[in-house]
Amino acid sequence: MDNLRQIELDTPQGKKQLAVLCGDISDLSEELDVLTISAFHRDYAAVPHTLLGALDQNDINTALLSAEPFIDLRTTANIWLSQEIETARLPIRRIGCIESPPLFSSGDRTAILLKEIQAYFHMLEIASLSGVPIRTLAMPVIGGGNQHIDSELVMIPILNECLRFLKQDEQIRRIFIITRNRGQAEAFAATLEQSYHLMQNRQPAEEEKKQLAFISYSSADRNVADNLCAKLEARGIPVWYAPRNIHSKDYASAIVQAISECSHFVVILSKHSLASEHVLNEIDLAFQELNRKIAFLPLKIDEEELGPAFKYYLSRQHWMDAHVPPLEKRLEEFVSQSFPIN
């Protein structure tokens, strides 16, 4: 089992760890309070060369455990948590399962799966509050393998939920993200490294923020961003957007600091930005700032459908559609509605 990246978090409960491992779950010597598995909808077949197959070979029958779970939320969220396992060859106390939603569209399945991942960690919080010991947790790449869901789409949500659970739950001490796929493991490790770097360089939020609009956009939509910036500044709203406001070589730290200082986060949604990992990362940072009441302002300038990862962040946010010409008028409406004159 190769440990590709491990970080330590300082929390009110002490130091906690999140690690990305590459290898077979059966080789993990650490005792697990909960091992998370991913399965097809109501299908727990112990297929050879899969995690369910490996568990079955070690006296952990997932189908039997699913028959009488400790928490059963399959009807509403396709998730469940097993009773404590009494006899097994592996040091695993419980199984937690996230099932693939029973839909035919891969895009719909992925969007729903992201919601299930959120619900799964809330279920663990409920179990923890109910007295179930959850100090160590293992997560696979949800939806990978035979379910053929792109791991890049679930990578940031999984890491976010792991970090949030580590910070908030009193019991949890270590979370392991485990996959046998070297490429997936290295991608997770790289993303975790970047997230940790951004967290370390984030400036502490102040109680009151001066008005500042951050514009997130794809470089292909630079003309729209320039136009929007001009309209905002003409209205007396200070604007931060790259590359104009970056004055150092540390691009990532400049982005983090600007988002931590802004009062309004404006994201221009288009076919270009919806394919941009940089825009998704900026949305993720702004999403984490919602607890200080940052104004989240999506502006959709074409009819491109939101991808699953963007739906994860934006499904509960109100956005303005600006794809009906003339764009100039739509931008004026957006500015006047989002930044009314007192």
Which has the higher per-residue pLDDT, 206 or 144? 144
Query: What is the tens place of the pLDDT at every residue in 267-287?
Result: 999 999 999 888 988 998 888
For residue 79, the model assigns a pLDDT of 94
For residue 104, the model assigns a pLDDT of 47
Mean pLDDT across 285-304? 84
Q: Does domain 2-201 have CATH number 3.40.220.10?
A: yes
For residue 117, the model assigns a pLDDT of 87
For residue 198, the model assigns a pLDDT of 61
Mean pLDDT across 187-201? 74
Mean pLDDT across 160-177? 91
pLDDT level of residue 192 (50, 70, 90 thresholds) = confident
For residue 208, the model assigns a pLDDT of 46
Mean pLDDT across 149-170? 79
Q: Does domain 213-338 have CATH number 3.40.50.10140?
A: yes
Among 48-52, 137-141, 331-335, the minimum mean pLDDT is found in 48-52
Q: Give which of 229, 234, 236 is closest to 268, Cα–Cα.
A: 229
Query: What is the tens place of the pLDDT at every residue in 207-217?
Result: 445 789 999 99
For residue 45, the model assigns a pLDDT of 86
Spell 110-133 as b/e; 16+ CB within 10 A means b. Answer: bbbbbbbbebbbebbbebbeeebe
Mean pLDDT across 50-67? 87
For residue 155, the model assigns a pLDDT of 78
Mean pLDDT across 231-235? 89
Query: What is the tens place of the pLDDT at every residue in 117-157?
Result: 889 999 999 999 999 999 999 998 775 555 555 566 677 77
For residue 205, the model assigns a pLDDT of 46
Mean pLDDT across 5-25? 89
pLDDT level of residue 298 (50, 70, 90 thresholds) = very high
CB 283 within 8 A of CB 310: yes
Whole-number Å distance between alpha carbons of 282 and 279: 5
Mean pLDDT across 151-172? 83
Query: What is the tens place of the pLDDT at every residue in 60-119?
Result: 899 999 999 999 999 988 999 999 998 767 889 999 999 877 654 444 566 677 788 889
Mean pLDDT across 247-272? 88
Looking at every residue in the chain, the average pLDDT score rounds to: 84
Q: Which residues contact 290 (CB under 8 A, 6 or more apart)?
A: 296
The tokens 């409406």 sit on which residue? 333
CB 78 within 8 A of CB 43: no
The tokens 């946010």 sit on which residue? 317
Domain ranges of the chain: 2-201, 213-338
Classify burial at 6, counting beta carbons within 10 Å of its beta carbon; exposed 0-12, middle 13-18, buried 19 or more: middle
